[in-house]
Amino acid sequence: MYETFDHTADVGLRIRSESLDGLFADAARGLFSVLVANLEAVQPLDEVSIDLGRDEYDMLLFDWLAELLYTFDVRKLLLSQFDVHVGDDGLRATARGEPLDPARHLMAHEIKAITYHELKVEHTDDGWLAEVIVDI
């Protein structure tokens, strides 16, 4: 589960999940929900594989979201489905989506960057919590 919150000229994402894999998948969905207002219209037609080396969970979340944003910026590929595994060796994921189609996809915000400001990933009594601020 993810939610957005206002943060000056930026947008914050707060993500909660029972599992670390779910946390990273929901963070990705949250990121793309900031980009495109009708994320449910994005079809899983193309597939991207992403492998990231082991790091602290907060830095791994930053790298994961930055890689997804890079994929959008370079390929104009909107992603909506995420199969993520976070393990001792890092992150392995498959993301699915389709190229941006202005006739069908309603763009919400332009995201300039993922920030380190107030970035956190922590284990709680209920599972996992992450917060990340995106520069729009």
Arithmetic mean of pLDDT, 18-45: 97
> Looking at the predicted structure, is the pLDDT value of residue 7 above 70?
no
Cα–Cα distance, 41 to 61 (Å, whole number)? 25
- Number of structural domains (the chain) is 1
Q: What is the pLDDT of residue 4?
A: 72
Using DSSP bridges, classify how beta strands 127-135 and 10-17 pair: parallel, antiparallel or unpaired. Answer: antiparallel
Average pLDDT of the chain, as a whole number: 95
Cα–Cα distance, 99 to 88 (Å, whole number)? 32
Arithmetic mean of pLDDT, 67-76: 98
Q: How confident is the model at residue 9 (pLDDT cuts 50, 70, 90)?
A: low
Q: What is the pLDDT of residue 119?
A: 96
Q: How confident is the model at residue 38 (pLDDT cuts 50, 70, 90)?
A: very high
Domain that holds residue 124: 2-135
Q: What is the pTM of this model?
A: 0.92
> Looking at the predicted structure, is the pLDDT value of residue 8 above 70?
no
- The tokens for 107 are 């763009």
Burial 77-116 (b: 16+ CB within 10 A, else e): bbbbebebebeeeebebebbbbebeeeebeebeebeebee
Q: How confident is the model at residue 135 (pLDDT cuts 50, 70, 90)?
A: very high
CATH number at residue 88: 3.55.10.10
